[in-house]
């Protein structure tokens, strides 16, 4: 998927994927990660999600990566934070108290730049990518986080009835991306109230990915 796809979405304000509140499944199952205050949480393709507000309120240090600098600037504005901004060849780093967001392509982010993280929260990254990119994405996240545990959200629906993103991801697909490196536990599945984008019946699931020994 061309990075300009998401940049154009933000420019034209086609951001129906942006929720105006923290995700209920995150709130319910965050304790499954068994983290301590001050833990660093990586949120890939983070946009300006309110999940970041919630994670910060729980004492976490949030690290994200996002293609759209518009989304990043709006995130800091909504947090009432003035970030310091530094640029390298491929990424721009927005930093404030307990939050680091990198503007750019996640495939340009390496482990040294990201820094140590204790967990990954993926609500809108895997589901945003076409099937051809998901294996590479899953391997990239595993590599740069040194296989940190993950809370991951997916959707299931009739892909013929609605084009993504978010894309439909079955359990078998999920296992094909992660089973070699993680134990995979389904925590909960619920129906999407009103249907996905108000158009098609769908289920939303949250998974706990624990590093395999």
Q: Which residues are annotated as a binding site?
A: 10, 45, 66, 123
Three-state SS across 13-34? Answer: CCCCCCCCCCCHHHHHHHHHHC
C-beta of residue 166 within 8 angstroms of C-beta of residue 173? no
Q: Give the whole-angstrom CA distance, residue 2 versus residue 21.
A: 28
Please enumerate in sequence order all residues whose Cβ is within 8 A of that of 112, keeping only pairs 6 or more positions apart, or say none: none
DSSP assignment of 35-86 equals PPTT-EEEEET-TT-HHHHHHHHTTPEEEEEES-HHHHHHHHHHTT---EEE
User: What distances in angstroms separate CA 148 from CA 27, 28, 46, 183, one per listed residue?
Assistant: 19, 20, 17, 12
User: What distances in angstroms separate CA 91 from CA 119, 128, 201, one per listed residue?
Assistant: 22, 20, 38
Q: Which amino acids are annotated as binding site for S-adenosyl-L-methionine, given as ranges?
A: 10, 45, 66, 123
C-beta of residue 171 within 8 angstroms of C-beta of residue 197? no
């Amino acid at each position: 998927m061309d990075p300009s796809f998401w940049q154009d979405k933000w420019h034209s304000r086609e951001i129906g994927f942006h929720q105006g509140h923290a995700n209920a499944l995150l709130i319910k199952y965050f304790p499954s990660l068994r983290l301590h205050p001050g833990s660093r949480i990586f949120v890939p393709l983070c946009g300006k999600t309110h999940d970041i507000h919630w994670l910060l309120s729980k004492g976490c240090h949030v690290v994200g990566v996002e293609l759209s600098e518009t989304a990043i600037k709006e995130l800091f504005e909504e947090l009432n934070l003035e970030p310091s901004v530094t640029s390298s060849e491929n990424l721009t780093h927005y930093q404030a108290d307990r939050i680091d967001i990198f503007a750019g392509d996640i495939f340009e982010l390496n482990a040294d730049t990201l820094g140590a993280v204790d967990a990954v929260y993926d609500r809108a990254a895997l589901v945003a990518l076409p099937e051809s990119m998901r294996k590479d994405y899953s391997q990239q996240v595993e590599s740069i986080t040194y296989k940190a545990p993950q809370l991951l959200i997916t959707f299931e629906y009739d892909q013929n009835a609605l084009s993504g993103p978010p894309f439909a991801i079955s359990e078998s697909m999920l296992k094909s991306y992660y089973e070699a490196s993680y134990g995979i536990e389904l925590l909960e599945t619920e129906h999407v109230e009103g249907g996905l984008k108000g158009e098609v019946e769908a289920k939303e699931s949250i998974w706990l990915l624990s590093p395999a020994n």
